[in-house]
Amino acid sequence: MAGASAWTEKDGTFVDGLGRLQRVRAAVAPPGEARPDFWILAALWHGGPNRDSPDQAFSRLARSTSDGPFSRTDYGVLESRSSPAAGVAFGGGWTSHLQRRGLIPVEDHAKRR
């Protein structure tokens, strides 16, 4: 049994539903022996523990897709240009296209003042 960490416990990158590459940082440490998804998948693929950090895993992905969008992306640039609150809209804004379409309920904290 392999326990995967929750989204709040992950450090790395992901591609959202609109095809944007985004940098994420762990808010809390995973409990016990929980591991990130990429760590578990790499361990299964290679038959042993994965020792890669998120930036090393990203670099491997970039090298393996020489013609793809990741090949032109540098993890260090993502690290320096990302802010901890990127993608979060405050004061009446929407954080995703799903919220704009009414598929996810949103409480507008700006209207409560």
Quick: pLDDT tens for 48-75: 666 777 788 788 777 887 777 677 777 7
Ordered DSSP codes for 58-89: HHHHHHH-TTSGGGG--HHHHHHH--TTTT--
Cβ–Cβ < 8 Å for 70, 89: no
Instruction: Place 111 in a pLDDT band, splitting at 50, 70 and 90.
Output: low
The pTM (predicted TM-score) of the whole model is 0.48
Alpha helices per DSSP H over 1-113: 37-46, 54-64, 75-81, 97-100
Higher confidence at residue 23 or residue 101? 23
Instruction: Place 84 in a pLDDT band, splitting at 50, 70 and 90.
Output: very low
With 70 as the cut, is the pLDDT of residue 37 above it?
A: yes
In the chain, where the domains are located: 1-82, 85-113
